[in-house]
Structure formats: structure tokens, C-alpha cells
Structure 1
Amino acid sequence: MILGDSGKICEETKKIYPQKFASEEEIFNHIHRGDRIFISTACGEPQYLVQALIRFVESNPKAFFDAEVLHVWTLGVAPYTDAKFKYNFRLNSFFVGNNSREAVNRGMADYTPIFLSQVPQLLHRGLVHINVALIQTSPPDDHGFMSLGVSVDIVKAAVENASLVIAQINQFMPRVHGDGFIHIDHVDYIVCHDEPLLEYEAMAPNEVADQIGKYVARIVQDGDTIQIGYGSLPNAILSNFNDKKNLGVHSELLTDGMVELMKKGVINNSQKTLNRGKTVATFCMGHQSTYQYIHDNPSFEFRTLDYTNNPLNIARQNNMTAINTALEIDLTGQSTAESLGKTFYSGIGGKADFMRGAILAPGGKTILAIQSTAENGEVSRIVPFVREGAGISLLRGDIHYVVTEFGIAYLHGKNIRERAMELIAIAHPDFRSWLVAEAKKAGFIFQDQAFIPGKGGEYPDELEACKNTKTGLDIFLRPVKISDEPFLKEFIYSLSDRSLHRRFISFRKD
């Protein structure tokens, strides 16, 4: 996607702002020992600037040392984590990605756990000072404003608080509406270099992910405003929303799947309470076609993280529905998305921000979608207890629904025994007997608790049916579940002795 004549725009900019152009060596000579260097997020990473910085260090290995590279996370190769640069750079990330996971777990890089909604304030309050910011923007318009494009998140706060701002002007960067504009006066140095933005390629959804998506689609209602994450499972969930109407988006991340639903008219934001008519996000990860679609499109509004992820803003959205994933969840309802035991895997991110905001929203609901097993079916993601050392990303009160390929568990307002039985019922059949035994051992469920998993251990979806009466009443019929036990108890206790005797040939008085 080329948005104009690159050479012409750069030459015109150079004529007006000659002081902002210099050789790469002159620019990077402004970096000193111990400086903190910020890099834009994910697909907004200025790839050329990062590679230019690496070339500078390779040519001048003693130019500076112990500089901290700071970012939310990146999709690039993260060359600054290479062992040969261990005296020059040390990475500090607010989220652990594929390119930094090994370095973090070897102790060669740092991870800062924090709610992403709070990161901009770290910069504004000076608690974390940025010496040099490497960013990527669209070309300046006639008024000197440049768009941060696909990455607004904390980038704008970094620009506003950095001592030195170096911008890669890239014709491939879309101009995105919202709060992601900076004036060229706030940039100290400009490097013109056009290159396609990084793209995010999720694994193709499988049948398991698609089945989870079908269950999630039952929970999401027409007119809901949704937030959802990234990856093959969220993509599968979105692909099951094609029959929905008037959905809205207030999300940290914009993905290809959301854009496809906008093109189909499924997402139109017409029922939103806040930012009606706008798809609101803070950064975008997808393909070039998505970047083209959001370019100068007034249907989108990109805002900073302290707006999109602020639970108080999220709570203002009627029928806000937060859909997130996790690595594992225990039988009491607490889950982790950050770590596998003591091994860091991702980060706090925005999950808790959105889940807690959605809980506070009128008609809001939270959904944790998770495949029942990992490691090719060898490990259950539903476990008696989360692994030792794991960080708890979502507390027991944060989750309304848990969805696996085996069904839906509703946890909100349920006690520990009820939660355990709900979750065992949607665990993989191969692990249910083990989970029942462990739940009894932990005292979560009664020692004589009956558990009949059904034929093949799977819930018989084919027996479900919807009926409509002559009076227009819609009735949903389904097989009884283990989680229905409290309702059955209440029903039986509500019957008279006469009715009990007629129905069951006996009744209890004690």
C-alpha cells in the first residue's frame, strides 16, 4: 500500500525541516550509556530504524553500553536480544512474545508485569523515563500532522515524554482516525524509508477451535459490544459471528477477523453506548488488506491504552462482552495466561482490564475460551490447581463463562463445589475421572458425589431443540447437565408430599 510519492514527500519535508534530517551515525550518536530506548509496538515496529541501530552498534560496539530497550512487544526478530549485544542492550518488555520468551526465561531480558491500561501513566508521571523513542509514522499532511497508524497504544505517550524522538516515515503506514496524530514539531529526527508493515499470521483454526467458536456464539447476543484477543482461537470465534447483527467493537486489538465482520455489516457499532458508530482499538495486527481498509476510514477510532483499556470506560459500554483465552484454569475458577508454572509465557496484557470492566458494565459478561487440552492431548488445561509458580491472570470472580469444545460452564455466583462440577463437565473426557478424584481429595466436591459423564463422555448436542408454542413462547430443550443439580434439588423440594409420592412412589420427610 503506497499512499503517495515517497521521494517527493520526503524531499518537500526536508526542504521545510532540514534540521530533522541527518546521517544515521549522527542520529544514533545521541544514544548514551544507560539510555532507555523505546520501540513502537507489534506491526508498528520501525523495522528499518531497528536494523539501522543494530548496524550502528556493529560498526561502533563501544558507542554505548547497558542501554535498555523498552516496548510492549514486537513481532520482529528482536536482534538486540542476541548474545553478541549483551553489553550494549538489555530488553525490558511489558509483554513476553515469541522473540523474547527464551531471553526472559534465561534471565537475559526483563519482563515488567503491569496492567496495560496503566503503562501510559508510567511515562506521563516520569516513573519510567524514555531517552530515545524509535517510532514509525505516516507521511505528514499539509498541516504537519503524522499518524501513528496501526500502533497508538503507548507510542503517543512515549513521543510526548521522550527526550529524543526518531521517526521512520513510511508510505505503507495507514493514516488512522482517532487520537494517534503527532505533529512533526515533536519529532527530532526523520528517516524516510518505505517498507511493508509487519504482518501477523495466526495458525489456521482447527475443528476444536471452530466448535469453541460455536459455543461462544451462543453467548454473544445481537447488539453486544465485543473485545477479543489474537490467535487462531479468537479468529475461529469471530468466524462464527456471521449471523449476528449490530455488533460493536471496543477492544485493545483490531484483527483481520473484525474487519471481515465489518465488511459483512455484522459489526456496525450502531448500538454502542460509548463511541457509537466507531470501531475503537489501540493497535492493529493483521494483513496488508486490513491496513488498507483502516486507512483514512472514519469508521475507526484508535485511542491510547489508558482510554481503550480503562475499566471505567469499558464499564460505560452497555452489553460489553469480553472474550479472552488462557493457558489453564483450575477447578475453583482462577486462570493463568502469563506463565506455565515458573516459565514466563506472555504477560498480564489487557485481559484483566477488559474482564473487570465488562463485569461492571450494564448487561456485561466475560467469557474465557480455552481448548480442553494442550501438548497434543497429553495435558488437560482444566486442572485441580494451577501449576506452582504460575501468575494468576484472572481471579475467581473475573470469569462468567468458561467455554471449551465440550460445552459451556457458567461460574458467576457459583460456589466452589458447583464450579468444580461445571468445569469437570466441559473438560476432555480422558481427564474427567482424574479431575473428579482430585476434586474429592481437595474437598471441592462431596466424597459421594455422583458423576455420570454420558455416552463417550461428551454432551449430546444433537438432543437439543428449540420449540415455539402457539402463544409465541420460545422454549429451549436440552439434556440435563451435572450443573443442573441445584435446580433439580430446588424443584423437588418445592413439590408437595402428595406430588412427590405420585411422581416417585416415595418422599422424604427428614
Structure 2
Amino acid sequence: MSGVMLNWKQAYASKITTVEQAIKLIPRGRRILIGSGAAEPHELVEGLVECGGHLADNDIVHLMTLGPAPYVQPGMEHRFRHTAFFIGHNVRAAVAEGRADFMPVFLSEIPALIRSRRVRIDVAMVQVSPPDRHGYVSLGVSVDIVRAAVEAADLILAEVNPKTPRTHGDSFIHLDRIDALVPVDYGLPELPSKPADEVSTEIARHVASLIPNGATLQLGIGKIPDAVLAALSNHKDLGVHSEMFSDGVMNLVEAGVITGRKKTLLPGKVVTSFLMGSRKLYEWVDDNPVVEMRPSNFTNDPFNVARNEGMVAVNSALAVDLTGQVAADTLMGNFFSGIGGQVDFIRGAARSHGGKPIIALPSTAKGASRILPVLEEGAGVVTSRGDVRYVVTEFGVADLWGKNIRQRTLALIEIAHPDFRAELLNAAKARRYVFADQITSENLYPWEETRTTQLRTGQTVELRPARLSDEEALQDLFYRLSDDSTYRRFMAYKNVHPHSEMQKLVDSDYEHNMALLATRSDGSEEQILAMARYDVDPGTRLADIAFVVQDEWQGHGLGTLLMRRMSEIAQARGVSGFTADVLDSNKPMLMVFHKSGLHVRSETEDSTRHLTLLFDALDKEDKSRVRSG
């Protein structure tokens, strides 16, 4: 054993060289892969320009780098041609000006392209940790496509940096594979977290509401992912299977929120391909068996992603059109970033049992809407309208799965910025996406009024304000009503419930009128169980109120819950009380009003009771009882 150890130590010593000597080993006309992200070998990269005077027509490829990228500067064209799998800020101008190329490809497929030599890698320039006592070095914080490159390349040049953490998983290579070693000693580039702004915080709140305890997460790096992680501090037993992550994941692991106990693929492990963050993060992953660094062909493989039950993938976009198409790699006709892992994880999460693929984006950018009637000319569709399920902005969540174009259009307009909703609706009408008489609302949806509660049977229901996109579900409720229930609601026999009437029932300004729904989800589609609506008379400040409950849900206490909640909402908005017309034979509804705790004044005309319920008639003790139920 000592002889083997001595042999690798001798080999290690024999491979130590300088940047200049290492660069001289690179032949002309060969393709060079540069290590990714925070593991970019900066001194070797600088050496390409400073010491590579002999080079000509060398193609440089990489996933994403953080350094200055001197090889794409003007004047380097005769020596280097650059191809990016993902366009970062350091090469964006070169790609836009035609001095560099962009290769659109799913991140999960790049290792196979490299191994098959369809994308030939002749030289791999990487950064590694010092060797262990067995002669193995670690690729540190970037395994992604680098693993395939060091297996396929003819020449491997490596910086040996004591600041590179030794990471677990599939990050180790033996010194035998490396041709030249350049000792360096510098800190890895850090990517500081940016404080969340109000928009990111609201987006994160909506995304967090979609994430159940025990879910496995994929998130990127940036303000929105950081804000989402911060919003998950009260969740339990979350897991991570993500192509990359930053400090937010570390913080939740240390807080006991991320445990991986519920993961169905590599339980207990935080699985990723590359990391970017603070020095604390790099120190945390050093020799940390909880973190598994896996190559992109494993981590991003949609079939592996789907093996995680309850997989929630959160990805960003530059724009979304009203049909659900997602543009994520082009901006104003120019290539901006790349496909990356978005489609890998969107499709993997969609295949996961209980999975949720989510696209999250601010509703505007530089004063323009990011939800568009159609994508701009030159915009690239990264995620198709068939792949999209949830779209989230600071104004809410649009659930598009299984929805037709009209339904998608209404849902997306509802989460667009209010300043652009009328414009989007007019554009949708011009394209015949929606009814010609379709209305829209520029009012902010009052998410804060949503409540989850239990019926006396123990079943959980959600009470929330109605939206225009609830029209068809409400229509379904009315068509399911018995003739008797329909008569009690409308005081007439009514067997048709057209769009023109239904959209008025779900249209609210949330101030002078309010429609409140009781809903329940069976894990897929939300069902409306009951509805209450009030409309305020501006002269008297009294609100006329009416209720409807599905036949099979009558007698479960839904009317009482809705009455209690509507009383709270109305009083908070300065409403003086309620009025209602109820058939004398509608004993259950009369009971709801009389049990409300409000003072009820009743007048009877023919077979109809005219009820008036005043909030001001209550003393403080009574008001407290109404609020608490």
C-alpha cells in the first residue's frame, strides 16, 4: 500500500507545472472546455490569452462562468471562437455581436453529447481540490458537465486549489487522469444574496403556498429563489434535488426545515450539480456527506427528477403569452441566457406523483408587461404551452393545467399587472381567445382574505374571494343544483345559467361587492361547494346578501361558515349590515341568519321574509362573538 501511495505522490510531483507551461500543451484548432461557475480555473483562463500566443482557431465551450472571459474580447477572434451552452453576463455582448456562438440544448443531454463526441472535447481546464491519501481529487462545487469532460478529453489541465471543497457524490477523479497540475491559492468567487424586494417577496409567498410539507424542491439562484426559500421557514421535511443552489438551502438545512426524510430518490441527501454562493456555503459543503454532487445527466434527467414524489420545480421566465408559452432565453430578439435545466425539471416535476412545475416571474419589467398577448418577434419558446402548469406573479397564481385557451387567457390576465389587464383583454378579444362581452377587473385580488377551515365533519375547505376565472366552476355548481335548491336561491325555477349571468356573479371589486367561495380540492381540480355574495347599497351602506350550497354539501355548516366570514369582511369595509330575501320555506337559510349573532329584523310579505341584520345593533361582546363564531 505504501508503494502505491508513493507512486501517486511521485506522479503528482511530476505533473506540477506553471500556467505558461500548461497552456503550451494545448494544440491549435482544438476544443477547450472550461470548468463551470465558481469552479472556473481563473489563472488558466487568463493564461489562454497571456500565454497562448501559439493558439489559433481554438473553440472554447462552457456552461456558465463568472470571470471576465478575456477570450471573447475584440481582437481574439483569430485565436478563439467561443460556444456557450448558457449565456452569462460576461459573454452576452460577444454572442449578440456575432463574435461567439450559442448552442441551445437541454442541460441533461450535454454529458451524452460530450461522451459520444458529437460535441468533441479535446482539452478540459478544471479546478480541483488537493488529493486525498489515495490520490483522488474532487471537482468541488461544479460536477455538472465537467464530469463528462474529464472522462472524454484527451488533455486535462487542472488548477489545484486548497480553497476548493472536497464534495461527496460523483465528484472524484484520480490524478492518473490529469496531465498537468497548476497549484493556486485563491478564494472561490462568491455570489452574494440580494435582499428581496416587495415583488419577489409576494411572488415567494404565492409559490410557498403551493409547496406542501415533505416536497422535494428545485430552485435556481437569484432574488426569487432566495425569497422562496426564506418563505419556507415554517415548512417541514423538505428535500432538494436541484441542478444548483445557493446559501438559502444551507440555511434551511441548518434550521431543520430541509431534512430529505420524505424523498423517494436518495432520501436524506441534498442532490445538486453545481453551487454558487458565499464562502460559508463552500465551507459548509466541504466533506459534507449530506450534499451529493451529481453530473447533469443524473440530476437533470427528467426521469430521475420524476422519481422524487412531490417534486416542485420553480423556474423563471422573461415573458409568458396568453396561451402559456414561456420565453426564457431571448430578450428583445437577442439570445440572453439559455435553455439550461428549465425543461428538464418542468417535465420531471410534471411526471412526479404529486409534482408541481412552476414558472415564477414579476408581472412587469421596465414598465412593460411580462404577460403578453403574443411573444415578441424573435422570442424563443423554452417551455411549451403544453408543459406549463402553474404561472406565478406577485398578483397570484394561474393554474393552467388542463385548461383551454379561453380559461388560460383569463387566468393569466388575472395575475398580470392591473395597469395592463384591459389592454390584454382587448388583445385577447381581437384574437377570439375569449367571449366578446368578457369583462376584466383591475382590482387587486385580496389574497389576505383566504382562510382554510374545518367543517364539523372534520373535512377541510378553503374560503376565498371569487375571481373571474371561477365562472365555469360556478356555472357547474348551479347546473348540479336540484330544482328545489335552484328555486330557493333565485325564487324562481331556472334551468339555464348563461355566461352573461355567471360572469356577473364572480365579478367583484372586493370593496362594494364581494363573492366568497367555499372550495375543496381532491388533489387535482378545485371544486366550488358553496358561494355567498353581497352587494352594497351606497345610500344605506347595507349589503344585500345571498347564498347557494351544493345539495350534497348542505347540512355540513357551510352556510354558517360563509355567513361568519362575510360578516367579518363586510364590517372591515364599513358595511352597516346585511339585507336578504328568503323564502319562508327555506328553514336552513333562515336558521343561518338567526344563528349569526346579529340582530335580525324580519318582515313577511306573501311567502318571503325580508331580513335586515345590523352590525351597529351589537354591543362589543356580541361583535366579538360574531368574529370568533
Q: Which residue of 2 aligns with 1:461?
A: 447
Report 1:345-384 matches (<5 A). Answer: 345-375=336-366, 378-384=367-373
User: Quick one: which amino acid aligns to residue 291 of structure 1?
Assistant: Y
Q: Is residue 363–residue 393 contact of structure 2 (8 Å, CA) maintained in 1? A: yes
Correspondent of 2:402 among 409, 413, 428: 413
> What CA distance in whole angstroms lies between the structure 1 residues aligned with 2:159 and 2:482?
78
Alignment deviations for residues 132-155 of structure 1 (CA, whole Å, 9 cap, x no partner)? 111000000000000001000011
> What CA distance in whole angstroms lies between the structure 1 residues aligned with 2:180 and 2:9?
11
Q: Which residue of 2 aligns with 1:394?
A: 383
Alignment deviations for residues 17-36 of structure 1 (CA, whole Å, 9 cap, x no partner)? 34312343332222222111
Alignment deviations for residues 148-195 of structure 1 (CA, whole Å, 9 cap, x no partner)? 010000111111111110010000000000001000000000000010
Greater displacement, 183-192 / 251-260: 251-260
Greater displacement, 286-295 / 473-482: 473-482
Q: Which residue of 2 aligns with 1:172?
A: 163
Alignment deviations for residues 28-51 of structure 1 (CA, whole Å, 9 cap, x no partner)? 222222111110001110112112
User: Quick one: which amino acid aligns to residue 502 of structure 1?
Assistant: R
Q: Is residue 341–residue 386 contact of structure 1 (8 Å, CA) maintained in 2? A: no
**2:304 counterpart of 1:313:** yes
Q: Relative to structure 1, is the Cα distance of residues 462 and 498 closer, same or farther in structure 2, using a 3 angstrom cutoff?
A: same
- Cα distance, 1:325 vs. partner? 0.8
Q: Is residue 349–residue 356 contact of structure 2 (8 Å, CA) maintained in 1? A: yes
- Cα distance, 1:310 vs. partner? 0.4
Alignment deviations for residues 192-213 of structure 1 (CA, whole Å, 9 cap, x no partner)? 0010011123432101100111
Q: Which residue of 1 aligns with 2:596?
A: none
Q: Secondary structure at the match of 2:75?
A: helix
Greater displacement, 127-136 / 16-25: 16-25
Q: Secondary structure at the match of 1:478?
A: strand
Alignment deviations for residues 467-504 of structure 1 (CA, whole Å, 9 cap, x no partner)? 33344333321111112111110011122344323312
**2:14 counterpart of 1:24:** no
Identical positions, percent: 45
> What CA distance in whole angstroms lies between the structure 1 residues aligned with 2:482 and 2:145?
64
Q: Which residue of 2 aligns with 1:447?
A: 436
Q: Is residue 205–residue 233 contact of structure 1 (8 Å, CA) maintained in 2? A: yes
Alignment deviations for residues 87-110 of structure 1 (CA, whole Å, 9 cap, x no partner)? 111111100110111110111100
Report 1:216-227 matches (<5 A). Answer: 216-227=207-218
> What CA distance in whole angstroms lies between the structure 2 residues aligned with 1:33 and 1:228?
40
Q: Is residue 145–residue 181 contact of structure 1 (8 Å, CA) maintained in 2? A: yes
> What CA distance in whole angstroms lies between the structure 2 residues aligned with 1:509 and 1:273?
49
**2:478 counterpart of 1:492:** yes
- Cα distance, 1:309 vs. partner? 0.4
Q: Which residue of 1 aligns with 2:142?
A: 151
Q: Is residue 242–residue 261 contact of structure 1 (8 Å, CA) maintained in 2? A: yes
Greater displacement, 385-394 / 423-432: 385-394
Correspondent of 1:50 among 42, 45, 52: 45
User: Quick one: which amino acid aligns to residue 55 of structure 1?
Assistant: E
Alignment deviations for residues 377-432 of structure 1 (CA, whole Å, 9 cap, x no partner)? x1101111111111111111222211111111111111110000001001100000
Give the number of the structure with larger relative contact order, counting CA–CA contacts within 8 Å between residues 6 or more apart.
1
> What CA distance in whole angstroms lies between the structure 2 residues aligned with 1:389 and 1:427?
22
- Cα distance, 1:509 vs. partner? 4.5
- Cα distance, 1:16 vs. partner? 4.3
Q: Which residue of 1 aligns with 2:28?
A: 33
Give the root-mean-square deviation of aligned CA atoms: 1.6
> What CA distance in whole angstroms lies between the structure 2 residues aligned with 1:264 and 1:367?
25
Q: Which residue of 2 aligns with 1:136?
A: 127
User: Quick one: which amino acid aligns to residue 409 of structure 1?
Assistant: A
User: Quick one: which amino acid aligns to residue 38 of structure 2?
Assistant: C
**2:190 counterpart of 1:199:** yes
Where in structure 2 are there 5+ consecutive unaligned residues? 1-5, 497-629
Correspondent of 2:315 among 324, 327, 342: 324
Q: Is residue 14–residue 20 contact of structure 1 (8 Å, CA) maintained in 2? A: no
> What CA distance in whole angstroms lies between the structure 1 residues aligned with 2:233 and 2:314?
17
Determine which structure has the larger strand proportion and give its number. Answer: 2
Correspondent of 1:105 among 93, 96, 104: 96
Q: Is residue 44–residue 149 contact of structure 1 (8 Å, CA) maintained in 2? A: yes
> What CA distance in whole angstroms lies between the structure 2 residues aligned with 1:507 and 1:381?
46
Q: Which residue of 1 aligns with 2:466?
A: 480
The TM-score normalised by the length of structure 1 is 0.93
User: Quick one: which amino acid aligns to residue 396 of structure 1?
Assistant: R
Q: Is residue 369–residue 416 contact of structure 2 (8 Å, CA) maintained in 1? A: yes
> What CA distance in whole angstroms lies between the structure 2 residues aligned with 1:438 and 1:253?
38
Correspondent of 2:80 among 78, 89, 98: 89
Q: Which residue of 1 aligns with 2:499?
A: none
Q: Is residue 245–residue 276 contact of structure 2 (8 Å, CA) maintained in 1? A: yes
Q: Secondary structure at the match of 1:198?
A: coil
> What CA distance in whole angstroms lies between the structure 1 residues aligned with 2:18 and 2:483?
92
Report 1:70-85 matches (<5 A). Answer: 70-85=61-76
User: Quick one: which amino acid aligns to residue 167 of structure 2?
Assistant: V
- Cα distance, 1:460 vs. partner? 1.2
Q: Which residue of 2 aligns with 1:5?
A: none
> What CA distance in whole angstroms lies between the structure 2 residues aligned with 1:66 and 1:167?
22
- Cα distance, 1:128 vs. partner? 1.6
Q: Secondary structure at the match of 2:289?
A: coil
Q: Relative to structure 1, is the Cα distance of residues 357 and 256 closer, same or farther in structure 2, using a 3 angstrom cutoff?
A: same
**2:422 counterpart of 1:422:** no
Q: Is residue 20–residue 47 contact of structure 2 (8 Å, CA) maintained in 1? A: no
User: Quick one: which amino acid aligns to residue 412 of structure 1?
Assistant: W
- Cα distance, 1:14 vs. partner? 6.7
Alignment deviations for residues 220-262 of structure 1 (CA, whole Å, 9 cap, x no partner)? 0000001011111111111100000000000100211111111
Q: Which residue of 2 aligns with 1:504?
A: 490
Q: Relative to structure 1, is the Cα distance of residues 158 and 494 closer, same or farther in structure 2, using a 3 angstrom cutoff?
A: same
Q: Which residue of 2 aligns with 1:3?
A: none
User: Quick one: which amino acid aligns to residue 192 of structure 2?
Assistant: E
Q: Is residue 204–residue 231 contact of structure 2 (8 Å, CA) maintained in 1? A: yes
Report 1:241-390 matches (<5 A). Answer: 241-375=232-366, 378-390=367-379
Greater displacement, 79-88 / 190-199: 79-88
> What CA distance in whole angstroms lies between the structure 1 residues aligned with 2:478 and 2:138?
64
Q: Secondary structure at the match of 1:363?
A: coil
Q: Is residue 421–residue 440 contact of structure 2 (8 Å, CA) maintained in 1? A: no
> What CA distance in whole angstroms lies between the structure 1 residues aligned with 2:194 and 2:492?
57
